[in-house]
Chain A
């Protein structure tokens, strides 16, 4: 099965020290929040950037989703702070 692509933006990107990575695909019932927790458990910049999920927002295949959404068969997960455009 295709790996899962994770992309990061803004201070989340700076905290984890990369803008994109691929991980082994978790089970389809795994939520974005579960994924965030497993990434934060790596420690270091990951723990700092992803440790407080209340500060994070997410998109699955380029659509905003709440963090309790199951990843299912999504190809791409994006993790970032609340947006500040306009």
Chain B
């Protein structure tokens, strides 16, 4: 199973997990990203590159499928205006054994952070706005997984 959704709407984590659990594997791992309401933040605005996002996330998923024996992968990434506490992203992976599920889940979220064409803008209570800067440690984390090897 391969499910990729780029959407403005919220999603149902329980339903996503149930679909992965129904694949007959021995384990499902998942990560849900949530908007943090720190420092007077009232909203995050997520912009993306519509013509590229779906294809780019598919490349990331194909890479995970080439590296680990997975029964299913689900990725949901939201765009638009999201308030503190809102879900931003879901990554789920099902496999026969826990190592593949846990490792691929960590891999997928690390790669989404540094390889999916999304940009976050912070809106604060005093009306100020600021584009989130890419963090060198996120890029370093993605690099730790090594070069892409599953395609081309």
Contact = CB atoms under 8 A, between A and B. Distances in A.
Partners in one complex: yes
Contacts of B139: 82
Contacts of A81: 119, 131, 133-134
A63 B49 CA distance: 11
B47 interface: yes
A78 interface: yes
B52 interface: yes
A62 interface: yes
Interface stretch (B10-18, B19-27, B97-105, B107-115): B107-115
Interface string A57-86: 001001110000000000010101111111
Interface of A: 7, 9-11, 13, 59, 62-64, 76, 78, 80-86
Which secondary structure dominates chain B's binding surface?
mixed
A11 B88 CA distance: 21
Provide the main secondary structure of the chain A interface: mixed
Contacts of B114: 82-83
Given A9-B47, A78-B52, A84 B117 contact: no
A9 B53 CA distance: 13
B116 interface: yes
Interface string B45-60: 0111101100110000
Contacts of A62: 49, 51-52, 55-56
A82 B117 contact: no
A85 B131 contact: no
